[in-house]
Amino acid sequence: MNESIRWMTTDTPPALAANAIHLWRIRADETGMDLNTCLRLLGERQRARAERMRHQPYRERYIRAQAGLRLILGRYLDTDPGSIRFGHGPAGKPFVDSSGHPIAFNLTTTGDLALVAVGAGNGPDSEIGVDCEWIHPRNDIQAIARRMFSPEVAESLAQLPEAERLERFYRNWTALEADAKCDGRGLFRPRAPDAVAPQVLNCIPEPGYVAAVARARLPAVEQWLAFDLIRY
């Protein structure tokens, strides 16, 4: 299976088919959108959160990612990005009241990159989760694996040659995060007893990163449509 993503640019994304996945890439560092322009797009809650961030690079990445999310959703909802109002689930997962354009979405930010996964519909089977991680060395992966992964996954990771272990760890981690973000329960809350686990697929958004998308039903990665959010 080809997990690499072929990115396109568009001002008008195609209509979302019932089971389609659209993936968007946002540059969150200084090569991305103008920071002042982004700030004007944010809602009150987002601006307040940005103001509380004392680490400037994190703050700027957050602002660009959140503004990018608004621009992307505005294209699907055919509305002014700055006018979008978000609701939040019990664990904080954002959603929009889009009865005229039922849409599910999720945002992830890592390093200088942010991704937004978008799908049509609403309700449990339409929920979507995405996570992306910058692959960088760390010496605690086995301890994390034993604490967070199933015993089978942790043991499988431990048996890999060291040269392969780091990337496999991030594949497993992004899959875990995307799964937890799909239904909005968060990493440390158990799945509801009657809930069915979503399908999860990994992809490579660009060299040095790995991502995962989770949804009740997923087409193969090569069938996803992927778009770069051009500078605004």
Q: What is the mean pLDDT of each run of 10 residues along the chain (232 residues)?
A: 86 90 96 94 94 94 97 94 91 83 94 95 92 93 95 96 94 97 90 91 96 97 94 58
pTM as predicted: 0.95
> What architecture is the 7-228 domain classified under in CATH?
Alpha-Beta Complex (3.90)
Hey, where are the domains in the chain? 7-228
Q: What is the DSSP string of the chain?
A: ---B--EEE-SSPPP--TT--EEEEEE-STTSS-HHHHHHH--HHHHHHHHH--SHHHHHHHHHHHHHHHHHHHHHHTS-GGG--EEE-TT--EEE--TTS-EEEEEEEETTEEEEEEEE--SGGG-EEEEEEE----S-HHHHHHHHS-HHHHHHHHHS-HHHHHHHHHHHHHHHHHHHHHTT--TTSPPPTTPPPPEEEEEBSSTTEEEEEEESS---GGG-EEEE----
